[in-house]
Amino acid sequence: MFVRNCWYMAGWSRDFTREELKTVTMLNEQIVIYRKNDGGLVALQDRCCHRFAPLSLGRLENDDLRCMYHGLKFAPSGKCIEIPGQSKIPPQACVRAYPIVDKYSGAWVWMGDPALSDVSLIPDFVGIDDPRWAMLPGRMDYNANYMLINDNLLDLSHIPFLHCRSLGASLTPEGVSRPLVTRLDRSVRIQNWLAAEPSKMIVSTRGERTDIWQTYDFVAPGVFLLRADVYPAGTAARFPEREPSGVQPLHRQFTCQAVTPLTEDHTCYFFAYGPWRQESDLMEPFYQLGLKAFNEDRTMIEAQQKNINLAGNAAMLTTASDSALSQFRRMMDKMIRDEAQGIAAAPALGHRQAQA
């Protein structure tokens, strides 16, 4: 089951051009996306109401889309405005139109009730065009349920183990403090300290041991916004369990990620990862480091999904590190129940996570 009254990332904005009808699958629904002459996005059900032919095999005519099976033409609103061979167009001649917006370098589609599509509910995703950060865009598809990817992002205690040859190469399990988990509107916030060995990548740390303050929001239905600030060793002892004040970080990095379920067992994962702008020469090395780590995640999660499929009714053991993911799963379950009962979406988020 999915939460539908949410914005889901359909792709990076640069993926959608005026010249192309692009089909995407989201929440078991086929959608065709294109740009109008003014650059605005249109998202329509990719199924003509006549004989169910894919509109993605159609033709753009100005801002309208013509089905190339029998020639029905649809406006961006989804309403049929022409049927060859007849003058009367019945009111049921239409396809579903989805609210879609360009924001934070991404194309976001509202999959639920259009009347509830509040743009302020899109989290502060930052994106690859933000001048504070030097990041490149990425995409990865998983043969796994989307909640397993959410679980992975909500519990980063796996980094020293699963990513011991990539992101966690300079970390030890003992250097990872227990996170502070805070429940927010439609999200949870996780914060903790990491102790790191000298980095070979970050020149600004001058080869020293460092303390890393890591803080991130995980927002329904699956948006991950993490900032990591690197400080001289000993900073964590001065500011236990809280973010330092009055101390300038040696280095900062950020990652924005979005999990979009395609079907129950296939998921799309969008990501960008990089340093603050003043170290833009590290943009490509950070991207490659992230890509390596995210492939490690995918290998593990797809293998986990296979075990789950074979496990029947076997229950998973819960540990202390599962606090954030347990809270988030309860939140998602409640949102699904509320939608089933017709309860409206929650108020806007107002997140401002990615300060440089």
Tell me: do 94 and 132 sit in the same domain.
no
Q: Is residue 198 part of a domain?
A: yes
Residue 350 lies in a domain: no
Shared domain check, 307 and 163: yes
Q: What does pTM read for this prediction?
A: 0.93
One domain, residues 25 and 144: no
Residue-level pLDDT, tens digit, the chain, 356 residues:
899 999 999 999 999 999 899 999 999 999 999 999 999 999 999 999 999 999 999 999 999 999 999 999 999 999 999 999 999 999 999 999 999 999 999 999 999 999 999 999 999 999 999 999 999 999 999 999 999 999 999 999 999 999 999 998 888 888 889 999 999 989 999 999 999 887 766 766 667 889 999 999 999 999 999 999 999 999 999 999 899 999 999 999 999 999 999 999 999 999 999 999 999 999 999 999 999 999 999 999 999 999 999 999 999 999 999 999 999 999 999 999 999 988 755 444 444 444 44
| Contacts (Cβ under 8 Å, ≥6 apart) of 187 | 123, 217, 218, 219, 220, 349, 351
How many residues can be counted in the chain?
356
The pLDDT value given to residue 344: 58
Give the Cα separation of 121 and 173 in Å (integer). 36
Same domain flag for 255 and 225: yes
Q: Listing from the earlier edge strand, what are the strands of the sheet with 64-66?
A: 59-61, 64-66, 73-74, 80-82
Quote the number of domains for the chain.
2
What pLDDT is recorded for position 174?
84
Encode pLDDT of 11-38 as tens digits.
Answer: 999 999 998 999 999 999 999 999 999 9
* Confidence (pLDDT) at 171: 87
List pLDDT tens digits, range 285-340: 999 999 999 999 999 999 999 999 999 999 999 999 999 999 999 999 999 999 99
Q: Are 190 and 150 in contact (CB under 8 A)?
A: no
Same structural domain, 261 and 219: yes
Q: Mark whether 215 and 68 lie in a shared domain.
A: no
Same-domain status, 147 and 250: yes
Domain presence at residue 325: yes
Question: Do 163 and 14 share a structural domain?
Answer: no
> Is residue 60 included in any domain, yes or no?
yes
Parent domain of 37? 7-120
Please tell me the predicted confidence (pLDDT) of residue 200.
66
- Same structural domain, 132 and 84: no
Query: Rounded to 5 degrees, what are φ and ψ at 328?
Result: -70, -40
Residues 96 and 154 grouped into a single domain: no
Boundary of a domain, candidates 64, 98, 120: 120
Determine, yes or no, domain membership for 348. Answer: no
The CATH number of whichever domain residue 177 belongs to comes to 3.90.380.10
Rounded to whole angstroms, how far apart are CA atoms 239 and 243? Answer: 7
Looking at the structure, do residues 81 and 149 belong to the same domain, yes or no?
A: no
Asked if residue 291 lies in contact with residue 168, where contact means CB atoms within 8 angstroms, the answer is no
Kindly state whether residues 197 and 336 are assigned to the same domain: yes
CA distance 179 to 242: 10
Q: How far apart are CA 83 and CA 74, in angstroms?
A: 9
